Amino acid sequence: MRQLKLAVLISGSGTNLQALIDACANPDYPAKISLVISNKENASGLGRAKEVGIQTLVIRHTDFNKRDEFDKSLTDALESAKVELICLAGFMRILGPVFVNHWHDRLVNIHPSLLPAFKGLHTHKRALEAGVRIAGCTVHYVRTEVDVGPIVAQAAVPIMPDDTEHRLAERVLQQEHQLYPFAVELIARGQARVDGARVQITGTEPSGIAALISPQVTKAE
């Protein structure tokens, strides 16, 4: 079985990276991680990749005078590894338009809200302040505008009456760990295709979709 070559870009602990690593450990999963890049040498997620023998690379944004120079260094490394799909997983740098356009429809991100609601930062705090009843997370293709792009998959997380920002964030993160491998599987199998501003899903969906549509309501411990 052909496996899509992935790169994962991180800046921190890499829990979504770990979810992808775990998915790729299944021999039937249609993708594999070829490279993990961090802009911070102390990102603990690098250890997760090294532990299972995945190539890692640190490209510090502070080593470059211009964002385009940093982005070009990223592209050079990604192309050298023959990467086919880039997964942003807590990568805390805004990528420039040259980079984003170069990797058009080959660059995805996971965001902790049900886009287009609550773009940007502090999503859980804003959701609670707005009084919405449903939160969640979104995997989407990246475009030059932040948190905008065709949506691949979403997972809903009901907001509980006693939720705090921390409790909600933990439950959303649990769903992120299911959603990202699911969305990447759709892409790798050719079942998710960009059509204008939307993603069309075709064929038989991978197992687990019911859990993503109706996630179990649990309180974070």
**pLDDT band for position 215 (50/70/90)?**
very low
Assessment of whether the complete model's pTM goes beyond 0.95: no
Give the mean pLDDT of 145-156: 97
Average pLDDT, stretch 6-33?
98
What average pLDDT does the segment 145-160 reach? 97
Do the domains at 1-103 and 111-221 have one common CATH topology?
yes
Taking residue 64's Cβ as centre, other Cβ atoms within 10 Å add up to 14
Q: Residue ranges of the domains in the chain?
A: 1-103, 111-221
CB atoms within 10 A of CB 23: 20
pLDDT surpassing 60 at residue 170: yes
Residue 201, pLDDT above cutoff 70: yes
* Cα–Cα distance measured from residue 109 to residue 184, given in angstroms and rounded to the nearest whole number: 10
| Cα 15 from Cα 22, distance rounded (Å) | 11
Residue 203, pLDDT score: 82
Candidate from 50-54, 134-138, 173-177, 215-219 with smallest mean pLDDT: 215-219
Catalytic residue among 61, 102, 104, 111: 111
101 pLDDT band, cuts 50/70/90, is very high
CATH architecture of 111-221: 3-Layer(aba) Sandwich (3.40)
Whole-number pLDDT of residue 221: 32
- Model pLDDT, residue 18: 98
1-103 CATH: 3.40.50.170
Rounded mean pLDDT of 12-32?
A: 98
Catalytic residue list contains 111: yes
Percent of the chain's residues with pLDDT above 90: 91
* Those residues with Cβ within 8 angstroms of residue 166's Cβ, 6 or more apart along the chain or in another chain: 220
Task: Classify burial at 207, counting beta carbons within 10 Å of its beta carbon; exposed 0-12, middle 13-18, buried 19 or more.
Answer: exposed
- The arithmetic mean of pLDDT across residues 152-161, rounded, is 97
Measured CA to CA, the distance from residue 185 to residue 189 in angstroms comes to 6
Q: How far apart are the first and last CA of the chain?
A: 39
Residue-wise pLDDT tens digits, 47-59: 999 999 999 999 9
Mean pLDDT value of segment 140-162: 97
The residue count of the chain comes to 221
Q: Is the pLDDT of residue 153 over 80?
A: yes
* Whether pLDDT at 34 is above 50: yes
Spatial distance between the Cα atoms of 152 and 136, rounded to a whole number of angstroms: 14
| Helix, strand, coil abundance in the chain, percent, nearest 5 | 35, 25, 40
Residue 213 has pLDDT above 90, yes or no: no
- Residue 157 clears pLDDT 60, i.e. is over it: yes
